[in-house]
Amino acid sequence: MNAPLSRNWDSLRQSRRDRLARAASQDFARAVPADRIVDLLEAVILPGDRVCLEGNNQKQADFLAESLADCDPARLNNLQMVQSVLALPSHVDLFERGLASRLDFSFSGPQGGRLAKLVQERRIEIGAIHTYLELFGRYFMDLTPNVALIAAQAADAEGNLYLGPNTEDTPAIVEATAFKGGIVIAQVNERLDKLPRVDIPADWVDFTVQAPHPNYIEPLFTRDPAQITEVQVLMAMMAIKGIYAEYGVTRLNHGIGFDTAAIELLLPTYAAELGLKGKICTHWALNPHPTLIPAIESGFVESVHSFGSEVGMEAYVAARSDVFFTGADGSMRSNRAFCQTAGLYACDMFIGSTLQMDLAGNSSTATLGRIAGFGGAPNMGSDPHGRRHVSPAWLKAGREAGGANAVRGRKLVVQMVETFREHMAPVFVEELDAWKLQAAMGAELPPIMIYGDDVSHVVTEEGIANLLLCRTPEEREQAIRGVAGYTAVGLGRDRRTVENLRDRGIIRRPQDLGIDPRMASRDLLAARSVKDLVRWSDGLYAPPARFRNW
């Protein structure tokens, strides 16, 4: 028999005690003055630590991010950053200033260009690009943070936190850190004697600091109806009639683009005229999109659970607590981890857009010179093999794919794109830019957002391709070419095969769906401006200044 292993079994706890002792020796109490935050960070963070910086899709721990970037790289270096979104300049400053060396993340949106440059200069090592739920999962496996820097709306004297409507990633980050010997530091907008509700209990939080300015929140989900085009209206009509109605899709998630905003705004008009109220779009995993207001007010929507909130929607959400998830205090509660779980297992459809799609239906938003990441799309846009409960939409899709005796259903994963983007960039391509990016990044795999074998339908201005009904890779390719319009991929179609696919209902043109493209008018939109949305909300929606032109 082997001798018992001789080792220290509480090194994490010991390390935590040492870190807190260092802070205490510098007279830090739980409430930290803003002007001493850099000293605190240098006291409790060690070189090589894994640090989770709360950069969410929307809410940003911006004061802590800037403060970390102001630390001395001679004291803090080789930090291993884990964060869902790289949104702020300070997030990239950490790497440029030599504080951090490795990054595991999900989405980098506005910083995608700087990130690509750092990769090319070999000044950053990217662990992996994840989908949100996958990254959260790794917080509890092999990427558990030593230190988490988070953002909250308010703290009380004990250090309990109120997160406000933008709960987002905070519970997942704090749970992983606080229960594995880590240190949790929260920036707060205000200190209150009594919190509206407690979202994070004080004994999971080590320090709080009142930031000199409220944390930044990006209004990521606001789409101005004035910018929706007639082509988007046409595609929305096709999607509603050819997919939503045919499958009876009641539980779904929408992407953030104008294509799906057009669908939201056609529900109270076009979909209602088709008699679809109560039959489609009743339950949503969705942020509070302002463009969903008319559908909610028209009685289409029963329930919405959200990943985060949306700037300006707070009062509207609070006043519609039958629809949205709200606390006993009346304000919204969001949660990215739970909403992504709902998007994975409890939705029958994901519909979104992409920048490029290849002949196998693989899609990617990666372009040369930008490492943008994926966010939630790979999760929502995937067919979960762990699902067991049935619904009419899931069964119908499963039987289309696997025949009448299929033992499982299928999630509807719909990609909705106009065949050319602005400046005549074709969406349909022979080879995704992701492959070139893979080579530039030295990655094992190209950054594909949604795998082609998960895609069930492609909607373009030319029609709908139902990939579930295709029986060979060649048929899939021709089905995709058959809706790819005047792109080189579309012009390269085999006309006879495409006509055969149309006869079999695999490709459907607007006229096959009984839609006259000439009727695609912006007049069909329930709201044609942000001001219309405010009116629909009875004045409860308060759009950010950049969306006001009155």
List residues near another protein by CB under 8 A.
229-231, 234, 418-424, 460-462, 485-486, 491, 517-518, 520
Q: What is the distance between the alpha carbons of residues 210 and 191, in angstroms, rounded to a whole number?
A: 7
Q: How far is the CB of 421 from another protein (least distance, A)?
A: 8
Q: b/e map of 101-119 (b: 16 or more CB within 10 Å)? A: bbbbbbbbbebbebbbbbb
**Residue whose tokens read 């004080």:** 202
Q: What is the distance between the alpha carbons of residues 332 and 155, in angstroms, rounded to a whole number?
A: 17
| Closer to another protein by Cβ: residue 231 or 245 | 231
Q: How far is the CB of 461 from another protein (least distance, A)?
A: 4
Q: Would you state the structure tokens that stand for residue 482, as one six-digit string?
A: 């058959």
| Closer to another protein by Cβ: residue 62 or 224 | 224
SS3 track for 277-334: ECCECCEEECCCCHHHHHHHHCCCCCEEECCCCCCCCHHHHHCCCCCECECCCCCECC
| Closer to another protein by Cβ: residue 230 or 453 | 230
| Closer to another protein by Cβ: residue 232 or 478 | 232
Q: How far is the CB of 420 from another protein (least distance, A)?
A: 4
Q: How far is the CB of 520 from another protein (least distance, A)?
A: 7
| Closer to another protein by Cβ: residue 396 or 508 | 508
Q: What is the distance between the alpha carbons of residues 497 and 474, in angstroms, rounded to a whole number?
A: 10
Q: How many CB atoms lie within 10 A of CB 93?
A: 17
End-to-end CA distance of the chain: 81
**235 touches 460 (CB < 8 A):** yes
Q: How far is the CB of 230 from another protein (least distance, A)?
A: 6
| Closer to another protein by Cβ: residue 441 or 520 | 520
Q: How far is the CB of 471 from another protein (least distance, A)?
A: 29
**Residue whose tokens read 């006229």:** 511
| Closer to another protein by Cβ: residue 24 or 425 | 425
| Closer to another protein by Cβ: residue 56 or 356 | 356
Q: How far is the CB of 499 from another protein (least distance, A)?
A: 14
| Closer to another protein by Cβ: residue 229 or 497 | 229
| Closer to another protein by Cβ: residue 286 or 520 | 520
According to DSSP, the β-strands at 147-155 and 161-162 are: antiparallel
| Closer to another protein by Cβ: residue 317 or 459 | 459
Q: What is the distance between the alpha carbons of residues 295 and 459, in angstroms, rounded to a whole number?
A: 22
According to DSSP, the β-strands at 79-85 and 50-53 are: parallel
Q: How far is the CB of 423 from another protein (least distance, A)?
A: 7
| Closer to another protein by Cβ: residue 348 or 462 | 462
Q: How far is the CB of 26 from another protein (least distance, A)?
A: 57
**Residue whose tokens read 């994840």:** 130
Q: How far is the CB of 233 from another protein (least distance, A)?
A: 10
With left for phi above 0 and alpha for psi between -120 and 50, is residue 314 left, alpha or beta?
Answer: alpha
Q: How far is the CB of 519 from another protein (least distance, A)?
A: 9
Count of H-run helices and E-run strands, the chain:
21, 19
Cβ contacts of residue 317 below 8 Å, gap of 6+? 165, 288, 309, 324, 326, 331, 332
Q: How far is the CB of 459 from another protein (least distance, A)?
A: 12
What one-character-per-residue DSSP string does 160-223 give? -EE--S--TTHHHHHHHHHTTT-EEEEEEEEE-SS-SS-SB-GGG--EEEE-SSPPPB--TT--
Q: What is the distance between the alpha carbons of residues 233 and 222, in angstroms, rounded to a whole number?
A: 18
